[in-house]
Amino acid sequence: MKKIFLIIAALTITVSCEKEIDLDLENQSGKIVIEGNITDKAGPYIVKITKSVSFTSLNEYPAVEGAQVTLKDDAGHSEILQYIGGGNYRTSAITGEPGRTYTLTVKAEGNEYVAQSTMPQPVAFEGLMQDSFVVAGETSYTLLPVFTDPPALGNRYLFSFTVNNNPKKFFSEFSDNVNNGMLNQRPLLLPNDDSDPGDIKVVPGDIIYVEMQCIDNQVYTFYSALLQLSGSGPGGGITPANPPSNISNGALGYFSAHTSEKLSAVIQ
């Protein structure tokens, strides 16, 4: 068994909890892993396809070459993505538009995988407000994303952030089940543990780069499951499960059509 920051081998996102989790997913070795995004910002957009590996192996995930990857929307636009190496397939023409439903089809190694995602309408990302608290003499920092949830129930959000130039990405998922139609009151907890190599402790002067995504319910379920799995049991626990993918035919990963806004803040 191996400590990792990924629920799914080969998926290039990292879990936002600040503890590592133990997973035993050797039986998932060799499965297709698909990570696809389309946003309301200008493309091109990338779909990454790799194979999962045993966690007793090196963290080198084989790229899937020779796949046929098609992305289309519900307005009749469609294109076949171009392979650019490293398991990455790139769009050239299709554009992301709120309200549209997008279908991703991947034909690889004799199998077909299909996913759909509907891009929500954007919600304005108005700002970031800093706060802090002290526990046992240690100061921890938070950032409150400032936005007002629309009146209709059912909005889902994903916030991802990085610290300075560190590539490690943290994320939190929000829903409006509690504060529907209200000004957001839920902060992002910034990492405060540098006890192990590669960990991060936020201090004054650090720059926090935050992306706000409006996501559909299936993508929200995927990320929500990631956080629940990472918090299961003392010290993270052990789970044999992967979060529920919105991709058919047993593929790991996700496909997300979402809006995107980015802001940054310097910790004072």
Q: 163-190, pLDDT tens digit by residue?
A: 999 999 998 999 999 899 999 999 999 9
Tell me the sheet residues that pair with 90: 46, 82
* pLDDT band per the 50, 70, 90 thresholds, residue 198: confident
Closest C-alpha among 74, 54, 126, 114 to residue 255: 114
Q: Does residue 80 surpass a pLDDT of 90?
A: yes
pLDDT digits (tens, 9 = 90+) for 214-229: 999 999 999 998 777 7
pLDDT digits (tens, 9 = 90+) for 90-147: 999 999 999 999 999 999 999 999 999 999 999 999 999 999 999 888 899 999 999 9
Give the DSSP per-residue string, 231-253. TSSGGG-EE---PPPSBSTT-EE
Tell me if 128 sits within 8 A of 144, measured CB to CB: yes
Query: Which residue pairs from 124-129 have beta carbons closer than 8 angstroms and sit at least 24 positions apart in sequence?
Result: 124/148, 124/261, 125/212, 125/261, 125/262, 125/263, 127/263, 128/208, 128/210, 128/263, 128/264, 128/265
